[in-house]
Structure 1
Amino acid sequence: MLEKGMLVNKVALVTGSSKGIGAGIALELAKAGADVCINYSNSRGDAEQLVNQIKSLGRRAIAVRANVAERAQVIEMVEACESNLGPIDILVTNAVASVRNSILETKFEDLQKTVEIGIFGVFHTLQVVARRMVDQGKQGTIIHVSSPHARTPFKEAIDYNVAKAGSHHLVMTVANELMWHKIRVNILEPGWTDTPGERAWYSDEQMKTMGERMPLGRMGLPEDLGKAAVFLATKAAEYIVGAVIKVDGGQFIEGGPSWESTSRHQ
């Protein structure tokens, strides 16, 4: 049973957490008692607003700008988090980039950027934090936000498909290695989630209509992912390692879309 305050004295770092799913996860971790390091690349205002929101809950929080594709910036981000909040107990790798085009339209530089953030950025963050957890003898928790795109090659999403498939396998390999250090690594897989990123592709009316077509009558919300992340970070999940937990309202039950899929999904 999950209780308020069960993550008190825990420090969390959530990459790509100024808005969307990352912000939802950061906020729910804070509600559960964790102090949170908010990572952003460009959205400083959103990150600072989230920091203030977390502080209003009585938790500590800082915002750190870093492009996770740049290893030196990742190291600086982790050091800033630890010097201000303490050693990291919970890491959530959520930072992502996406252009989503067909093979006929995708530019190499767009593919390269998505892969650098979505795969290399995950590698840098995981490695830097994991090494510190091992050196400190911490039994930490690492959560990666993946996607149905890791398994299903949706059309018109070349860069995103490649990045999510690669990062998914990377994280599973890490789970297989770090569990021997008592560090649990798991994956959250969102379905179609109402985020600013999705609203860049669709109108409010389209989002409303598509939400009504979902099995549970609505699209996912960032806090749905946040609640699942809180569960994975607590002792209630202490025997769960290398799991892929779908938070999709039944959209991809048994590995296939439960309703007519579109070309773009979160």
Structure 2
Amino acid sequence: MAAAQAESHSVSKPLQGQRAVVSGSSRGIGRGIAVALAQAGAEITINYHSHAGEADEVAAECRSHGAVAHTLAANMGDRESVEQLIDQATEKMGGLDIVVSNAAYSDRHLMLESDLSEFQKTIDVSMWGAFHFVRAGAQKMVDAGAGGNIVVISSPHAKIAMPGAMAYNMAKAANDQMARTAAVELAQHRIRVNLIHPGWIDTPGERKFFTEETLQDRAAKLPWGRLGRIDEIGRGVVFLCHPGSQYVTGSTLTIDGGIQLPWQEMYRVDEARQEDARLAAAQAANS
């Protein structure tokens, strides 16, 4: 009976005993990741920059699932602040097993119209911040000698040249190469590094660029007919960090509801059907 209970617990809490830090986890995708890791049994350090109250709410939600949760402030655009975050998180939790690089900033203007200070901030947070976070976390894992998991939340912007988002496109393309290179370099230390490409996810950040009406209208036209949810990205992170996924490294998990498929070309299928119907009707009329 005791063995069966222990096995059941390991299935329901596959990350029990793991210690994780998630950058930018006071809201949006980061919040979904922190909560999912907590549900899987991990101890969590929630990072925030300017949303302390929301970070406390995430910590409370994590604790409601029986997890130990901490909150730490850091500016992901500042190397020293990022390195201090990793040092403090490791000290609070007594070690570090999971690092999830999620924090990002985005400036959305055409290249020729960009405010270069905003452009630079996007690069500093979304590219350099991710690098310093991953590097500092990896160093802790290497020093401990017990392996670990690093997950980088990237974006389809890494591959798709979205107009009006040059800085973000550049940063996410760099994230992809950073993660794959780190996967090669850290394999000898049994540290796995993987990427997630979320699609269009329902987060507070999207309200920075779109009205609620526009979001809902465009979401209905997506292949899956809705925006993605933060818990869906969180479960993807748990999968990549799961002990059963130990042969997965240097991979990209796409969780986008089909948004990277050529769904906008489906009008050609409709046109072909209409043409077939027209020809059939003409043939019937002439027979």
C-alpha distance in 1, partners of 2:100/2:264? 30
Indicate yes or no: 2:138 matched with 1:133.
no
Alpha-carbon distance, 1:209 to partner: 1.8
Alpha-carbon distance, 1:55 to partner: 1.2
Alpha-carbon distance, 1:258 to partner: 2.1
Residue 122 of structure 1 is matched in structure 2 by 130
Aligned-residue CA RMSD (Å): 1.5
Alpha-carbon distance, 1:214 to partner: 1.7
Whether the aligned pair in 2 keeps the contact of 1:69 and 1:124 (CA below 8 Å) is: no
Alpha-carbon distance, 1:77 to partner: 1.2
SS of the residue corresponding to residue 104 of structure 1 reads helix
Q: Deviations over 1:97-119 (max 9, x none)?
A: 11111012112111111111111
Query: Alignment length, in residue pairs?
Result: 257
Residue 264 of structure 1 is matched in structure 2 by none
Q: Which runs of 5+ in 1 are unaligned?
A: 261-266
- TM-score, with length taken from structure 2: 0.86
Amino acid at match of 2:263: S
Between the aligned residues of both structures, percent identity stands at: 38
C-alpha distance in 1, partners of 2:95/2:164? 41
C-alpha distance in 2, partners of 1:81/1:204? 36
Residue 167 of structure 1 is matched in structure 2 by 175
Within the candidate set 88, 91, 101, 2:99 is matched to 91
Within the candidate set 38, 41, 56, 1:48 is matched to 56
More helix as a share of residues: 2
Whether the aligned pair in 2 keeps the contact of 1:176 and 1:242 (CA below 8 Å) is: yes
Indicate yes or no: 2:39 matched with 1:34.
no
Alpha-carbon distance, 1:204 to partner: 1.9
Q: Deviations over 1:135-179 (max 9, x none)?
A: 110210000000011011110111111111112211211111111
Residues 28-37 or 68-77, more deviating: 68-77
Q: Which runs of 5+ in 2 are unaligned?
A: 1-9, 266-287
C-alpha distance in 1, partners of 2:75/2:94? 21
Residue 228 of structure 2 is matched in structure 1 by 220
Alpha-carbon distance, 1:41 to partner: 0.9
Alpha-carbon distance, 1:129 to partner: 1.0
SS of the residue corresponding to residue 141 of structure 1 reads strand
C-alpha distance in 1, partners of 2:154/2:34? 16
C-alpha distance in 1, partners of 2:140/2:17? 18
Within the candidate set 104, 107, 111, 2:115 is matched to 107
Residue 22 of structure 1 is matched in structure 2 by 30
Which residues in structure 2 correspond to 1:197-212 (within 5 Å)?
Answer: 197-212=205-220
SS of the residue corresponding to residue 63 of structure 1 reads strand
Q: Whose Rg is larger? A: 2
Alpha-carbon distance, 1:203 to partner: 1.9
Residues 75-84 or 18-27, more deviating: 75-84
SS of the residue corresponding to residue 263 of structure 2 reads coil
- TM-score, with length taken from structure 1: 0.93
C-alpha distance in 2, partners of 1:259/1:186? 29
Alpha-carbon distance, 1:66 to partner: 0.4
C-alpha distance in 1, partners of 2:77/2:186? 22
SS of the residue corresponding to residue 245 of structure 1 reads strand
